[in-house]
Amino acid sequence: MSESERILVLGLGNPILSDDGVGIYITQAASFLFSHSQVTYQESSLAGFGFLDTISGFDRIIIADSINWQKNPPGTVIVLKTEDLKGQPYLRNFHNLSLAGTLTLADQMGVPRPKEIVIFAVEVKDCSTFSERCTPEVERAIPEVAQMIVEQLESWLGVEKGASVVEEVQHD
């Protein structure tokens, strides 16, 4: 990819609702592992249009999110790519515009949006209890997914494995 391209690593979720915050924790963990001038890390609890405002202007995005399919054990990592996202921008009763719907909307309205998207989602257990920590099953997936994000970034940027590792990390 060219040096002018911008990559967004976006953690989605609510960090005060248990497992719903997993995407945000993953993004924070990845930002400790890898840093690059073309990469921006951001977190968001916004839905629908707010999401469109956030992703507009980036060339590629990696999204870390929770997923509530209830098809897999909590903590299972699911990877989705652009071609997996299908959907129409049906706007529902509430403020719920799906990711696929948001992208379709951006295309039809001529809003610049990322052409390449990879989503890392973690199957959740509890998203309805106020807490700043995930359940243990989901928490265990955080370092694994953070590493997967770093590998995706290295692959896109064509950098050597481990080349942009943040050497000194200060934790609070």
Partner 1 sequence: MKKISIDPVTRLEGHGKIDIFLDDQGRVTNCYFLVPELRGFEKFCEGRPVEELPRILTRICGVCPEAHHMASAKACDAVYHVEIPSTAKKLRELLYSIFFVADHTVHFYALGGPDFVVGPEAPVAERNVLGVIRKVGLEAGKKVIHTRSMAHEALTILGGKAIHPVTALPGGMAKGITEEERKKIEGYTKEMVEFGKFTLKVVEDVVLANKAYVDLILSDTYAHKTYSMGTVDQKNRVNFYDGKIRVVDTQGKEFVKFEAKDYLNVLAEHVEPWTYLKFPYLKQIGWKGFVDGQESGAYKATPLSRLNAADGMATPLAQAEYERFYKTLGGKPVHATLATHWARVIELLYAAERSLELAQDLEITSGNIRTIPTATPDEGVGCVEAPRGTLYHHYITDEKGIVQKVNLIVGTTNNHAAISMSIKKAAMGLIKKGTTITDGILNKIEMAFRAYDPCFACATHSLPGEMPLVVRILSPEGEVLDQVERF
Structure tokens at 10: 């976006």
* Region from 25-33, 91-99, 138-146, 157-165 binding partner 1, contact rule CB under 8 A: 91-99
Which of 13, 103, 19 minimizes the C-alpha distance to 61? 103
Which residue of 31, 54, 135, 152 would you call a contact of partner 1, by CB under 8 A?
54
Determine if 8 is a binding residue for partner 1 (CB under 8 A). no
Give the largest Cα separation in the chain, rounded.
47
Residues 6+ apart with CB under 8 A from 2: none
Which residue of 33, 76, 100, 116 would you call a contact of partner 1, by CB under 8 A?
100
Rounded (5°) CA angle 36-144-127: 105
Structure tokens at 19: 């497992």
- Residue 73 CB, nearest approach to partner 1 (Å): 16
* Region from 29-37, 42-50, 141-149, 160-168 binding partner 1, contact rule CB under 8 A: 42-50
- Of 106-165, binders to partner 1 (CB under 8 A) are 108-111, 119, 121, 124, 127-131
Helix or strand run (H / E) with residue 26: helix 22-33
- Chain residues in the site for partner 1 (CB under 8 A): 12-17, 19-20, 42-50, 52-54, 56, 65-70, 87-101, 105, 108-111, 119, 121, 124, 127-131
